[in-house]
Structure 1
Amino acid sequence: MLRVVFDTSVYIAAFITHGIPKQVLDLARGRNKKIQLLASVEIMNELGQKLREKFFWPERRIKETIKAITHIAEIIQPQHSLKVLSDEEDNRILECAVGGNADLIVSRDRHLLTLKKYQNIPIVTAVDLLHSVPASCQEQKGEGGSP
Structure 2
Amino acid sequence: MTRAVLHTNTWVSGLGWSGPPGDVVEAAPAGRFEVVTSPALLDELRRVLAYPKLGEMFGDVDEVIELIALASRVVRPTLTLDLVRDADDNRVLEAAITGSADVIVTGDANLLDSRSWRESASSPGRLHQGTRP
**1:142: which partner in 2?**
none
C-alpha distance in 2, partners of 1:68/1:78?
21
How well do the aligned residues superpose, as a CA RMSD in angstroms?
1.9
Alignment partners' CA distance in 2, 1:18 and 1:43: 22
TM-score by length of 2: 0.90
Worse-matched range after superposition: 39-48 or 60-69:
60-69
Which 5+ residue runs of structure 1 have no aligned equivalent?
A: 138-147
User: Would the aligned equivalents of 2:89 and 2:111 in 1 still touch at CA under 8 Å?
Assistant: yes
Please, which of 120, 124, 128 is the counterpart of residue 122 of structure 1?
A: 120
1:75 is aligned to 2:38: no
**Number of aligned pairs?**
132
The aligned counterpart of 1:47 is 45
- Aligned partner letter, 2:77: P
Partner Cα distance (1:80, 1:66) in 2: 23
Q: Assess if the C-alpha contact under 8 Å between 1:5 and 1:37 holds in 2.
A: yes
In structure 2, how many angstroms separate the alpha carbons of the residues matched to 1:13 and 1:117?
25
Deviations 1:6-25 (A, max 9, x none): 00000000111122111111
Residue 132 of structure 1 and its aligned partner are, at CA, apart by 2.0
In structure 2, what is the equivalent of residue 7 of structure 1?
7
Cα offset for 1:115? 1.3
Structure showing greater radius of gyration is 1
Q: Secondary structure in 2 aligned to 1:55?
A: helix
Aligned equivalents of 1:21 and 1:112: distance in 2? 16
Secondary structure of 1:57's counterpart equals helix
- Greater fraction of residues in helix: 2
Provide Cα deviations, 1:84-137, integer angstroms capped at 9, x if missing partner: 01100000000000000000000011111111643x86001001111223x4x2
Residue 21 of structure 1 is matched in structure 2 by 21
